[in-house]
Amino acid sequence: MVDIHVQHVTYEDIVFKPSDEQIQADCHQPYAGHENGCANYGTTYGCPPHAPKLAEFKEILAAYTHFYLVYGEVELAGDPKQDKAIYATMQEHVDAFVNFMQDSIPDLFIIHGYGCHYCERVGVGKCTCPKKPCRHPGKRTYSLSVALDIVSTMNSAGISMEMNPARGTKVFRRIGFVASKLPVDIDERVKEFELDVPEQPATGGSRGKKSK
């Protein structure tokens, strides 16, 4: 079972990337299997270069009053193939919870591990970017790469990105970020979600409270 953890943070806890230039550089940074950088770049309105610039993004978030870091965590198994499968399970579970919140709570602002795939998720087709206007601007979600320094933000909130401090073990984490203009009963939402989804297979060690 992949536990969902949700931590309430403040706007002051959020650490932004230093510049639009840094955001662009991060998007184009090569990584395994992607010599030209992120494959999502330019493919949705939730990713650079079509997403809001840094200054505008800060203004958008400042209009919200409640901020939540959503994350799943699993300990590494030590085997590359097994770790890949474990991460895929966790990614699916965390993304499903973020989608559940978007579908059940109005007017959320959502940032997660990739650009916007709302239209595909609800069955109306691929994103219209860049040739046509966004079909559902009020439902658009954004990539963590758009503005946030997510590692520094997690550290600012007291969450280790690489280790389980209690056990001293390395962990994987899948992260989402949700902003709301009204308080959200997170504990209740986690309970509702876990009743609504099938139980996940064991993944080797996600522990701890599900929300704070």
How far the first Cα of the chain sits from its last, in Å, is 19
Nearest to 196 by CA among 96, 119, 126: 96
In this predicted model, what pLDDT tens digit does every residue of 100-112 receive, in sequence order? 999 999 999 999 8
What is the pLDDT, as a whole number, of residue 207? 31
Per-residue pLDDT of the chain (212 residues; tens, 9 = 90+): 577 889 999 999 999 999 999 999 999 999 888 899 999 999 999 999 999 999 999 999 999 999 999 998 887 777 888 888 888 888 898 999 999 999 999 999 999 888 899 999 999 999 999 999 999 999 999 999 899 999 899 989 888 776 555 555 677 788 999 999 999 998 899 889 988 765 544 333 333 333 44
**Strand ranges inside the chain, DSSP E:** 4-9, 66-75, 109-112, 142-143, 163-164, 169-180
Structure tokens at 6: 């949700």
Structure tokens at 130: 């860049």
Structure tokens at 65: 């009053």
What is the pLDDT, as a whole number, of residue 77? 77
84 vs 89: CA distance, rounded Å: 9
124 vs 133: CA distance, rounded Å: 14
Nearest to 136 by CA among 149, 157, 117, 153: 117
Q: Residue 49, preceding bond cis, omega within 30 degrees?
A: yes
